[in-house]
Each structure stands twice: as structure tokens, then as C-alpha cells.
Chain A
Amino acid sequence: DAGVTQSPTHLIKTRGQQVTLRCSPISGHKSVSWYQQVLGQGPQFIFQYYEKEERGRGNFPDRFSARQFPNYSSELNVNALLLGDSALYLCASSLGYSHEQYFGPGTRLTVT
């Protein structure tokens, strides 16, 4: 079975631009979570979705938004990019919102 897939792998944007990151969960998994990993630190929770509804949001500004589609894939959107948004963005999928989470390879976002 395919694992969690994320696209694109790498992305370079300039300050003020908007970006959309995509995630496809493991087949059968209905929950997707997003994490931001800044270089040299552990991942930080951004969002969790289950059955297309937001179940939790971390301490991130409103510039960050997400949604989950009927096929359980998900998009993370970041508006008005700042240099500090440069990070590895990780998507994790799970059967339900309280089950163990399996991570994708991540999208490396560089903001210049």
C-alpha cells in the first residue's frame, strides 16, 4: 500500500505570496494532520481534520488555513508568506482523529 504522499517536494516563494501544499492520506485513513518543522526543531501541530471537519488548530496565525476533501485528501494554504514560514511541512494520516499518525515525506518551503 502507498504511504502518505505530499506535493510538491520543494517550493520556493517570495515574501507576500501565497502557497498551497497537498497531501493524500493512506488508503482507508479518514484523518489528516499538518505539522510545521523549522530547521533544528521538532514538528509543531498546525491542524487536524477528520471527515472533512476541523478537529483542532494549533497556535498559528489566521494566514494558515486548510481543508479536507471528500476523498480525505487535504490542502494547507498559507497567505502573505513571511521569511519565518520557511520550514518542512509534514502531513500525517490516521484512521481516526485519536489513532496513531503516519507521516509523509514533507514539503520543503523556502521563502525568500
Chain B
Amino acid sequence: AQSVTQLDSHVSVSEGTPVLLRCNYSSSYSPSLFWYVQHPNKGLQLLLKYTSAATLVKGINGFEAEFKKSETSFHLTKPSAHMSDAAEYFCVVSAPHQAGTALIFGKGTTLSVSS
């Protein structure tokens, strides 16, 4: 069965400092992995996706993630945080489900950015 574990429920950083949001995955085969962001009272926005091409994936708004099979990790990073990055972040694995595909979400990491 596929699953993801987000290792931190809350991360706090100062504006201009690096961001690291950690995610480990469990999958019986080569997974498709995603990071989504959710701002307060908004829907989910796709930040980036990994689908077995390059292991370093670049997304929107300066975010990137590295797929490490040996560590079963897919951590999200950004070199310099902005106030607008404050939001809920979800690590997600795509899993075959019956005759279709279901997204399996982690519990989320709340990113706080202080000035």
C-alpha cells in the first residue's frame, strides 16, 4: 500500500531564510509524488510533481523537491522564504485504486513565516 508521512506538523521560519518540509513515502513500486499548497480558506494548488524523470523537481514560486529512493524521501525546499509562503503544505502519493487513481495525502505541515 502507498502512504506518505510528513515528519513535521508545524515549521516556523523567518522571512529570507531557507524552508525545509520533510516527507517520507512508502510504495511498493516507483511512485508518483506531489506537493500541494493550501492557503487559508482556499483550494489546493499543485506546487510540483515527480513522475520518475529527473530526481530534482522544480516547481512554482521557487520551490523544489528531491526524490531520494534510498531514503524513501521527497523533501520540499525553498532557498528564501516569503511572507506569502505561509500556508498548509501536503505531500501526496498517487495510488492505483480499484479501476482508477486516488491521491493519498499526508497530514500536512503548517508553514509559518515571520518578518
Which residue numbers of A lie inside 8 Å of B, CB to CB?
4, 31, 33, 35, 41-45, 48, 50, 55-58, 90, 92, 97-98, 100-106
Q: What is the 8 Å Cβ interface bit string for chain B, positions 34-65, against chain A (1 contact, 0 not)? A: 10100000111110010000000000000000
Query: How many interface residues does B have (CB within 8 Å)?
Result: 22
Q: What is the 8 Å Cβ interface bit string for chain B, positions 73-113, against chain A (1 contact, 0 not)? A: 00000000000000000100010011111111111100000
CB distance from B112 to the nearest CB of A (A): 15
Given A44, A57, A101, A103, which contacts B98 in the complex, CB threshold below 8 Å? A57
The answer to whether A43 touches B44, judged by C-beta atoms less than 8 angstroms apart, is yes
**A-B contact sample (20 more), CB < 8 A, given A50-B100, A98-B101, A103-B43:** A33-B100, A33-B102, A42-B90, A42-B106, A42-B107, A43-B44, A43-B90, A45-B104, A48-B100, A48-B102, A55-B99, A55-B100, A57-B98, A90-B43, A90-B44, A102-B46, A103-B45, A104-B43, A105-B42, A106-B43
Given A4, A57, A97, which contacts B101 in the complex, CB threshold below 8 Å? A97
Look across to chain A and name the residue whose beta carbon is closest to the beta carbon of B44.
Answer: A103
The answer to whether A48 touches B43, judged by C-beta atoms less than 8 angstroms apart, is no
Residues of A within 8 A of B104 (CB): 45
The answer to whether B101 touches A48, judged by C-beta atoms less than 8 angstroms apart, is yes
Bound complex: CA A59 to CA B69 (Å) = 29
Mind listing 28 A-B residue pairs with CB under 8 Å? A33-B102, A33-B103, A35-B103, A41-B107, A41-B108, A42-B90, A42-B107, A42-B108, A43-B105, A48-B97, A48-B100, A55-B97, A55-B98, A55-B99, A55-B101, A56-B97, A56-B98, A56-B99, A56-B100, A56-B101, A58-B102, A97-B101, A98-B100, A98-B101, A100-B34, A101-B46, A101-B103, A104-B43
